[in-house]
Amino acid sequence: MNDHALRNKILGIVQRMAQYNYLVNNGDNPGYAFVDSPADDPDSGEQDLQQPVRKLQPFGFRGMPPVGSEGVILAIRGSYSQKVLVVCDNFNYGPKDLKDGETAMYSIGKATIKLDKDGTIHIDAPMGQKVIVNGGTLAVARNTDPVKVATTMAAWITAVSNFINGIFPGTVTPPTDFGLINGGAGAFNA
């Protein structure tokens, strides 16, 4: 076997084991997807062929990349029936300003969790969207949120106002604005 034939044989094996593909369908199960290789020459009648693959993702993280994302497929033992999508990305989404040592989790809806190289954690949602903690079972107050008076406090204020106005009519007007929250903790328990 000459060098050229050996080179072609090795390239053929490598091409069977590692491929560049596009995600064409996520399906209903986050552990599986369908991919398609870019057509070498669509003008010659070559057709795209969707292939099922297993999506492997880092433990504790699961994502459904948008259709059209680029991915690298490994064929376990060179088998076409045991393909695994090991990495998938789409440069149309996510932060473009990450610095060395920074990490971000993001969605196509522009929700982002960014870990800065100095240790700062940023959690951002687009304006008008919610950040839900523990399924929304416990409300979180923010600086400048209005203070709402409780029923017992409202009853007490009414009783005191009525008592004072009974002695000195028109002296007390019950308050209706109780201010805004102007402080808080750096962390909270859910």
**In angstroms, rounded to a whole number, what is the distance separating the alpha carbons of residues 53 and 73?**
8
Rounded to 5°, the CA angle 112-114-116 comes to 160
**In angstroms, rounded to a whole number, what is the distance separating the alpha carbons of residues 20 and 91?**
15
Q: Residue 116's pLDDT is what?
A: 93
Is 112 within 8 Å of 122 (Cβ atoms)? yes
Q: Residue 136's pLDDT is what?
A: 77
SS3 assignment, position 183: coil
Q: How many CA atoms does the CB half-sphere of 155 hold within 13 Å?
A: 3
Low-confidence residues of the chain, pLDDT below 50?
none
Region 3-89: CATH code: 2.40.50.140
DSSP per-residue string spanning 48-100 = ---EEEEEP--TT----PPTT-EEEEEEGGG-TTSEEEEEEE-TTSS-S-PPT
Is 73 within 8 Å of 53 (Cβ atoms)? yes
Q: Residue 150's pLDDT is what?
A: 83
Q: Residue 28's pLDDT is what?
A: 84
Q: Residue 48's pLDDT is what?
A: 65
Residue whose C-alpha is closest to residue 83's, from 129, 119, 36, 115: 36
pLDDT tens digits, residue range 22-31? 899 888 888 8
- pTM (2 d.p.): 0.64
Q: Residue 107's pLDDT is what?
A: 94
Residue whose C-alpha is closest to residue 71's, from 90, 49, 45: 90
Q: Residue 91's pLDDT is what?
A: 92
Q: How many CA atoms does the CB half-sphere of 11 hold within 13 Å?
A: 6
In the chain, domain spans: 3-89, 103-130, 141-185
